[in-house]
Amino acid sequence: MPEPERQPLPAFPGSDYGNSDPTPEWMQIDWRQHLHQVDLPGADGVNYVDIGEGEPIIFIHGIAGCWRNWLENLPYFSRTHRAIAIDLPGFGDSPMPSWEISMANYGRLIHDFCERLGIDNVAALVGNSMGGFIATEAVIEEPERFDRLVLISAAGISFAEWQGRAFDAAARIARAATPFLSGDRRVYWTTPRGRKIAFGRLFRNPNKLRPELLAEQVRPGLQAPAFSEALTKIWGYDTRERLPEIEIPTMVVWGLNDQIVPVEGALGYHRLIPRSRLELFERTGHLPMLERPQRFNPLLEEFIESAQPLRAAADTAVG
């Protein structure tokens, strides 16, 4: 009896990991032409990038992040949408606000930002890590402004469950902090070993990502003035009881190998948000949008095109 044909194992980490383009689109853009600052209540000089035309998509970074966390996504969506990525006050190139750092205040800032820019309707609010936490706050407080919500490795559920175990949670962040704390951070993206040590907690396979992309992710990082305060405000802040209030279409995206926010958080969001769908990325860490842009970008595009917002459903019913 002939032996069954053996199927080849999938290549690690997969052909769609990273960006194989020798000159990715984000490296060809003069981002200075698309950077702006805006004064908001209690937060002057908020920095943001604004590129493209059409219905706006707003991207919110996580703790120690900045607008550059979306370098692999902004060019793609700027072809069909107005793609906006903000530096939260106290992160990136945005100075500290006068108000107290909190998830609720950051959520309110998103509304102030939309008001200031005259944005009445957002096609999708997209948040990664702490940015996902903030995005849920914004949607819960003013749902009529947003058509869709996308949560990528979102903090919130897992961190609420870690209340009283702050050391465990802080250790996860600390282990990922190496490239941001070093005096000379160049060492961490100039050698494969350095990249693995520095970024192995954030990315499943950092050596498959462009060193230039990694370099963009570490400024200013943990040196951001809001980092410590934001970190303390995440622990135990619990919105689980209010998540069922989110009625807009929601997509939950998670890397199965996330070492910062465990994948159990994805299951929790999916269970508690009524109109949610769950997308799990194999062999992927905490930043799926950077690790697998060739999968993430079309996935988000399809979600925006196919998930009917409540506003459209109401208009159809009235008509």
Tell me the per-residue pLDDT of 154-209, one tens digit each, with 9 for 90 and over: 987 865 554 545 555 555 655 555 555 454 555 556 778 878 877 888 999 999 99
Q: Which domain does 238 fall in, by range?
A: 44-312
pLDDT at 317: 39
Alpha helix ranges (H) inside 35-102: 74-78
For residue 125, pLDDT over 60 is answered with yes
User: CB atoms < 10 A from the CB of 120, how many?
Assistant: 10
pLDDT over threshold 70, residue 27: yes
Spell out where the chain has E strands: 35-40, 43-51, 56-60, 82-86, 124-128, 149-152, 250-255, 276-281
- Residues 265 and 303: their CA atoms lie apart, in Å, by 21
Average pLDDT, the chain: 86
Q: Is the pLDDT assigned to residue 150 strictly greater than 60?
A: yes
Nearest to 148 by CA among 290, 280, 300, 253: 300
Residue 191 lies in a domain: yes
8: pLDDT strictly greater than 50: no
Give the whole-angstrom CA distance, residue 169 versus residue 234.
10
Percent of the chain with pLDDT over 70: 82
Burial class (CB in 10 A: 0-12, 13-18, 19+), 208: middle
In a domain, 13, yes or no: no
Residue 253 is assigned to a structural domain of this protein: yes
Q: How far apart are CA 269 and CA 278, in angstroms?
A: 9
73-87, 133-147, 201-215: range with lowest mean pLDDT: 201-215
For residue 49, pLDDT over 50 is answered with yes
- pLDDT greater than 60 at residue 80: yes
Residues 283, 255: Cα–Cα separation, whole Å: 7
pLDDT at residue number 199: 85
Residue 100: CATH number of its domain: 3.40.50.1820
Higher pLDDT, 14 or 250: 250
- The whole model's pTM is what? 0.89
The whole-angstrom distance between residue 6's C-alpha and the CA centroid of its chain comes to 39
Q: For position 146, what pLDDT does the model report?
A: 98
Residue 20, domain member (yes or no): no
Contact 94, 45 (CB under 8 A): yes
- Whether the ω angle into residue 249 lies within 30 degrees of 0, i.e. cis, is no
Residue 312: C-alpha distances to residues 123, 183, 306 (Å): 12, 51, 12
Inside any domain, residue 68: yes
- The confidence score (pLDDT) of residue 126 equals 99
Q: How many domains does the chain have?
A: 1
Residue 222 banded pLDDT, cuts 50, 70, 90? low
Whole-Å CA distances, 11 to 23, 162, 282, 283, 295: 23, 35, 12, 10, 16
Q: Is residue 31 part of a domain?
A: no
Q: Bigger pLDDT: 3 or 190?
A: 190
pLDDT digits (tens, 9 = 90+) for 224-270: 899 888 888 887 678 899 999 999 999 999 999 999 888 999 999 99
- Which pLDDT value is given to residue 9? 41
5 in a domain, yes or no? Answer: no
C-alpha pair distances (Å), 86 with each of 69, 220, 279, 307: 10, 15, 25, 24
Is 254 a member of any domain?
A: yes
Residue 312 has what pLDDT?
A: 54
Q: What is the pLDDT of residue 314?
A: 45
pLDDT number for residue 17? 95
